[in-house]
Amino acid sequence: NQLVGELKEAIAGSQLVLYYQPIIRLDTRGIEGVEALVRWNHPTRGMIMPDEFIPIAEETGMISDLGGWVLRTAVEQLQRWRSDPLTGRHDFNMRINVSAADLQRLEFVEDVREALTSAGLDPSLLVLELTESAVIQGNDLDRYTLNSLRRLGIEMEIDDFGTGYSSIDYLRRLPVHAVKVDRTLLSALGSDPAQPALLAAVLQLIRACGLGAVWEGIETAEQADFLLSIGCTSGQGYYFSRPLPEAQLTEQLKHHK
């Protein structure tokens, strides 16, 4: 596969870019966070999406270099937004996606601590999004890593909740703060009469486990209103904003109330 060799150059040679998608407080419409989403700006193929190259990076061991770049870049960017008076009046955190392989690396916790220190950013402003499959493998090293990250003061969130092996047991057991519900649950809202009650029950379950809930894939005003009506206060989706390049989000932050 030609992409394998090229990806190595891409990581080293600044062909990766981060896009940022806001997470919105549904009641006030304020920005409570941004999720960093990586893209590969390939010199001849154009913009390549992460679904195409993250798996390659994971299989070839390049994910630690890629993940390290994402971590440092995202943390530095948040510090720039916070320290610029035009954008710094918003109080929001940075969310990055972490892959299962990262949790298997002993140095991961140290990398995170170093990135935060070097950017001068408070640990409470970083949220790591972990997929269900990553945390559910649940070996000793994962648990050690998650607990160490938690002691650092970082928040952790389970991503894509409701697609994999969602279990009440791990919701209660893992040292995470919140759950991001997969967009497939919301997309069935208009077509399945059982879905409103189901979504409300999912929200209650998450709350009963002592966790926060973020809703993903909000594409319409009706979906946003529905979520608000069942008491969900945090969401993300094209209805509010697509993932945006840095410059465009900066403009939004300058003008957003």
- The footprint of Mn ion (CB under 5 A) covers 97, 129, 159
Q: How far apart are CA 141 and CA 50, in angstroms?
A: 26
Residue 160 touching Na ion (CB under 5 A): yes
Smaller CB distance to Na ion: residue 6 or 216?
216
Q: How far apart are CA 70 and CA 225, in angstroms?
A: 33
From the list Na ion, Mn ion, ligand G, none, pick the one residue 22 interacts with, judged by a Cβ distance below 5 to 8 Å according to partner type.
none
- Scanning 56-64, 154-162, 190-198, 239-247 for contacts with Na ion by CB under 5 A, the matching segment is 154-162
Provide the binding-site residues for ligand G, judged by CB under 6 A.
21, 37-38, 49-51, 54, 70, 97, 99, 129, 159-160, 183, 216-219, 236-238, 243
Q: What angle do CA 249, 251, 255 make, to 5 degrees?
A: 115
How far CA 94 is from CA of 76, 205, 249, in Å, comes to 10, 26, 13
From the list Na ion, Mn ion, ligand G, none, pick the one residue 77 interacts with, judged by a Cβ distance below 5 to 8 Å according to partner type.
none
| 211 touches 171 (CB < 8 A) | yes
From the list Na ion, Mn ion, ligand G, none, pick the one residue 82 interacts with, judged by a Cβ distance below 5 to 8 Å according to partner type.
none
Residue 157 touching Na ion (CB under 5 A): no
Give the nearest distance from C-beta 156 to ligand G in angstroms: 14
Q: Widest CA span of the chain, in angstroms? A: 51
Smaller CB distance to Na ion: residue 32 or 160?
160
Q: How far apart are CA 5 and CA 60, in angstroms?
A: 10
